[in-house]
Amino acid sequence: MGKQMRIGVLTGGGDCPGLNAVIRAVVRKGIKAHGWEIVGFRNGWQGPIENLTKPIGLTDVEDILTRGGTILGSSRTNPYKVDGGVDRIREVLAENQVDALIAIGGEDTLGVAKRLTDDGIGVVGVPKTIDNDLGATDYTFGFDTAVHIATEAIDRLRTTAESHHRALVVEVMGRHAGWIALHSGLAGGANVILVPERPFNVDKVVEWVERRFEREFAPIIVVAEGAMPEGGAEVLHSGERDAFGHVRLGGVGQWLAEEIADRTGKESRAAILGHIQRGGTPTAYDRVLATRFGLHAVDAVAAGDFGTMVALRGTDIVRVKLSEATAELKTVPTERYEEAEVFFGA
């Protein structure tokens, strides 16, 4: 047993499958290996600002491994956009005698973690995003589950597309990175995959669709929500921005389905998967990865290695600086996309 400590843990940003597996691993190792007390902060960074706490013991994590979402709740709160937010976090941590924080989240949550570390608050990060767009880690938990859900949806939609001889456009999540679209499109045998990293030519898409119809098969087009036509812009679901400056995207699938119908004269439908991709039971891969991340986050806290994030490199879990992890988004490289193009229109 090491020094008696009280460790805070929170989950920020969009929910995703595997969050509870991280919490479970942190609690079990923190208590059993170190004798620590674990304090859950509810609703992301809102928790340590407003003193929303939830003590977590072994019994609280007994049956959460398979549950999606997060038992702590989440939000897109940005302490640096709240007057006195950072000072309030210091006060709440001192009031609860919390020695360090483990923050589980994506680009925005870990960006806050990096700034808090710079401001003298000890934080260790755990990478979470279904988009798989965090730098410095090969994969994030939640991504495998989202791809599995999207692939199953494509498989199901294919049967109805073939029955009715119509084109089906499947819109998946991916604001700036097309990893879900690329992986689910490849796994589902899509005939066209469109990602935010490469503006698409509508005429070319129509050509691929018509080629598929000529062979008397129904085309399946997978498009990331952030994909945009050449010379065009993202399709906004709403112009409102969250605390991190993000607008809500959505609707490119419906727009593209209508374009295909107008240009080909063929029936076309859009299916927007949306938050279905975030929900439900995590895959075995995500449960294992999330658990390993949680165990190694505890090790980082025990070593006093703050300002770091646990990351997957190959099959190993390593620590990287939060500054490296949040420096830039990990997007789909050109060569990975070009690997998939051989299947377009086939």
Number of neighbours of residue 76 by Cβ within 10 angstroms: 18
Q: Is 269 annotated as a binding residue?
A: yes
Q: Is 130 annotated as a binding residue?
A: yes
Q: Is 241 annotated as a binding residue?
A: no
Q: Is 225 annotated as a binding residue?
A: yes
Q: Is 174 annotated as a binding residue?
A: yes
Q: Is 278 annotated as a binding residue?
A: yes
Residue 18 tokens read as 């595997």
Q: Is 107 annotated as a binding residue?
A: yes
Residue 239 tokens read as 């112009």
Q: Is 97 annotated as a binding residue?
A: no
Residue 133 tokens read as 């767009």
Q: Is 251 annotated as a binding residue?
A: no
CA distance 172 to 193: 11
Q: Is 129 annotated as a binding residue?
A: yes
Describe the strand order of the beta sheet including 53-56 as a list of residue ranges. 53-56, 37-41, 6-11, 100-105, 123-127, 308-313, 316-321
Q: Is 166 annotated as a binding residue?
A: yes
Q: Is 214 annotated as a binding residue?
A: no
Active-site pick, 131, 133, 144, 286: 131
Residue 131 designated active-site:
yes
Q: Please give the positions annotated as active site.
A: 131
Mark the binding-site residues for Mg(2+), compressed into ranges.
Answer: 107
Annotated binding site for substrate: 129-131, 166, 173-175, 225, 269, 275-278
Binding residues: 14, 107, 129-131, 166, 173-175, 225, 269, 275-278
